[in-house]
Amino acid sequence: MTLTQTRAEQTPAPTRHVAVALAALATGGFAIGTTEFVSMGLLPQLARGVEVSIPMAGHAISAYALGVVVGAPTIAFLAARLPRRALLVALMTAFALGNAASALASSYDALLVARFAAGLPHGAYFGVASLVAASLVTADRKGRAVASVMLGLSVANVVGVPAATWLGQNLGWRAAYWLVALLGLLTVALVAAFVPSSRGDSDATWKRELAALRRPQVVLTLAAGAVGFGGMFAVYTYIVPTVTEVGGLPESVAPFFLLAFGLGMVVGTWVAGRMADWSVMRSMFIGGAGQGVLLLVFSLLAPAGWWTLPVVFGITVTGSVLVVALQLRLMAVAAEAQTMGAAMNHASLNVANALGAWLGGLVIAAGWGYRAPALVGALLAALGLLVLGWSAALRQRQG
């Protein structure tokens, strides 16, 4: 990275333009958050549409997650030299096309391929958008700027996912993906119009970007996210049968608990920006520890029904604090390979998603009941804290 580029990226944009630019970037997060979670609410419709069983239709969710994991490092090391605004436009264009292909899929195999393609830009978009957001503000507000981008994903769980699910249930599942494709194109227009031009790293090479994955601090931070954040998904995946079969509540209350998850993400992301501006490292520990304690509380209170609702809210607040802090930490420890570091956060979080859901399913299948996933989640949170402790100790030794 050249000295001229470094100075340019450290010069914040005029205040009057920052809010609009951040809103444009957050719109992309909203679109991505909507498509990532809407498939879960439309599995029966998807299954009927491509003539497979519901479990097989669930593989479409896995295909999207696999696209995120593959796309983040691949795009990062191939495109780090490109101007960042142009790269964001290209990523959201590809995202819109992937969702349009999902809406047009005429077979199960075509749907899997389209969902994989739609997931490819996910991690790279959030990584590049975070770098651009941080470059728009002064150093003491970088946490809040990055959190603003993430806020789009959080709001999607409160507004975008329910709206797209309703649309898919009433007009057919394809309508939900068409909606997301339109949101992607809207993001393209907003980013092109309101996000300042930002040059890429002219010194970047694919070897240097990949070298970031050999840095101990990068590896430890990614591992902390992949393990520590899995606890939230261990509970989220099985929240409906837990509150109905263990808590004794009717199925009609499920939307309230899902809403608590969404609102917790919004509040947690907002809080996370301010905490990260105070201390990124402390924010990671507070988020991870708070999540672990609340997962234990959830397991204990599960039979109490409604009393678990504020606990669910708290789990996602602390989890969101952890996510934003991890993003900023990766941007810092990746050194020259910032594009790779920033993009890999969401790859690691999708590993956490798969790990938490898988381990939660294993303990349920073993006959331990629906309270067990929360205990698994607490264990994952504790392991994540151990990894963070290792990272902190290494940081202290290195000065």
**Helix, strand, coil percentages, rounded to 5, for the chain:** 85, 0, 15
- Distance CA(312)–CA(30), nearest Å, equals 22
Please tell me the predicted confidence (pLDDT) of residue 235: 86
In contact, 263 and 320? CB cutoff 8 Å: no
pLDDT of residue 3: 35
Per-residue tens of pLDDT for the chain, all 399 residues: 433 343 344 445 455 588 899 999 999 999 999 998 888 777 778 888 988 887 688 788 878 988 998 998 888 778 877 888 999 999 999 999 999 999 999 999 999 999 999 999 998 999 899 889 988 988 888 888 888 888 898 898 888 888 888 888 889 999 999 999 999 999 999 999 999 987 766 666 666 666 777 788 888 999 999 999 888 888 887 887 888 888 888 877 877 887 888 899 899 988 998 898 899 899 999 999 999 999 999 999 999 989 999 999 999 999 999 988 998 898 888 777 777 777 888 888 888 888 887 888 888 888 888 899 899 999 999 999 999 999 999 888 876
- pLDDT attached to residue 9: 43
pLDDT of residue 1: 40
pLDDT at 22: 93
Q: What is the pLDDT of residue 2?
A: 39
Whole-number Å distance between alpha carbons of 246 and 226: 28
In the chain, the domains with their CATH numbers are 1-204 (1.20.1250.20), 205-399 (1.20.1250.20)
d(C-alpha 118, C-alpha 368), whole Å: 36
- The predicted structure's pLDDT at residue 328: 87
Count Cβ atoms within 10 A of the Cβ of residue 336 and give its class: 0-12 exposed, 13-18 middle, 19 or more buried: middle
Q: Strand runs (DSSP E) across 139-279, as ranges?
A: none
DSSP letter string over 287-341?
HHHHHHHHHHHHHHHGGGGGGGHHHHHHHHHHHHHHHHHHHHHHHHHTTT-HHHH
pLDDT value of position 194: 93
pTM of full prediction above 0.85: no
